[in-house]
Amino acid sequence: MTFPARDDTGERVVVTGMGVVSPIATELADYVAALRAGRTGAAPITGFDTTGFDHPVGCEVNGFRPERWIRRLPVERLGRAARFAVAAARMAVRDARPSEDALRGDGVISVGTTNGGGPQLERLVETEALPGGGARDPLPTGTVLPHNLATSISQELDLPSALPSVLGTACAAGNHAIGEGVDAVRSGVAEFALCGGADAMSRKLFSGFSRLGLLAPDACRPFDSNRAGILLSEGAGMLLLESRRAALARGAPIHAEVLGYGLNCDALHPVAPDRASVASCTRTALRDAGVSPRDVDLISAHGTGTGRNDVTEAGAVLDVYGEAPPPTVSVKSMLGHAMGAASALAAIACVSAITHGFAPPTINHRELDPECPIDCVPNRAVEADLRIVQSNGLAFGGSNAVVIFGEHDGRTR
């Protein structure tokens, strides 16, 4: 299924706030600096027992202090992914500097995820399985519900008029959430949208990807002949979207404009992406944005570092853009694969690339895979005057989501 192009009568939608919790930085300014520096989040996993696994390396969030950002809710009652989501949402609101009334109108809170409260569910099951009741974990059962990711943001920020939703479309979920926010603001249904993605690493997910043979031993190398797979990751990225009209009226700082997006699902294979479907989704996003392929300056690929994804995605890029596509990077080489948070974190990287004028690198690069004939901006960021950037999110089950960001008129930042 492919969504048709929209008409052009709706509100223009802009990004006025962003918040980040990631393995390479836990605040926006540090995140931008880390992307520019090509910092890696890869390290041995410490959050759970990896005994018996061949490749116990991942990209965990370390040094994060949720109490800095979570003030109304008891931190201990939130699961790990919810802490990431709530903190990132508060950062986004602080970044947007809204007036007291700006977030009191109708709004949307949309959070994508793969795992939801997975780590809490694992703890709950483990402790319930122990003999006797004395060792039972006091963690409230409610923290395992994915819906907490959105409702906790609503409670923490006191947004009773905002409609919370959680999208479980796996690794494309962050872009799906952004699309939902765009629709709500563009149509006038909502005055603002807090949207993005959040996920926390868990032994369940780690075991699944290990069983599939997809985990790399040391580093993620997208589009490289020597690639060995993904590194599992975690974090959250949240964006505050408003109509351009409202943002200008209140003198809001504007990072970039969301020009359009595209969604589809090829319904062909449980785990393998489809080249024609990814290309079709890209064309839908470009039509929705009202731009042509020659207008796009940079592509942030899904770029997992698996052979099937990289070759398929690079092929789709060539199908849409021809033999000389824009530079196509993978921030997963630095961040790892944060599942439901992945495309939201990539979206913030795209907006930051436009605002700060650079193309993030694809690190760990040694030798370009001849089946991926693209410029992946190997190992070092490059200065670049970017006007339009494409952000890809692909997921198991053939679900694709592509968002197109554009420089806002006049570069207000």
Active site residue 337: yes
255 is catalytic: no
Q: Tokens 């060792």 label which residue?
A: 135
Q: Residue 234 and residue 259: Cα distance in Å, rounded?
A: 27
Which segments within 129-172 are labelled E, that is strand? Answer: 162-167
Beta-bridge mates of residue 378: 362
Catalytic residue among 55, 176, 255, 337: 337
Angstrom distance (rounded) from CA 394 to CA 411: 30
Catalytic residue among 176, 255, 302, 408: 302
DSSP 298-321: EEE----S-HHHHHHHHHHHHHHH
Sheet holding 162-167, edge to edge: 162-167, 107-112, 192-199, 235-243, 13-21, 256-265, 399-406, 388-395, 298-300, 328-329
55 part of the active site? no
357 burial type by CB count under 10 A (0-12 exposed, 13-18 middle, 19+ buried): middle
The residue written with tokens 């880390």 in the block is: 34
Q: Annotate 280-304 with DSSP letters as a single string.
A: HHHHHHHHHHT--GGG--EEE----
> CB under 8 Å to 106, separation ≥6 — which residues?
161, 162, 163, 189, 190, 191
Q: Of residues 171, 281, 372, 376, which has the active-site annotation?
A: 171
Rg (CA), the chain: 20
Which tokens go with 408? 């806002």
Q: Which residues of 129-163 are buried (b: 16+ CB within 10 A; e: fewer)?
A: eeeeeeeeeebeeebbbbebbbbbbbbbbebeebb
- The kind and range of the H/E element at 342 are helix 342-356
In this structure, how many other beta carbons lie within 10 angstroms of the beta carbon of residue 248?
16
Active site residues: 171, 302, 337
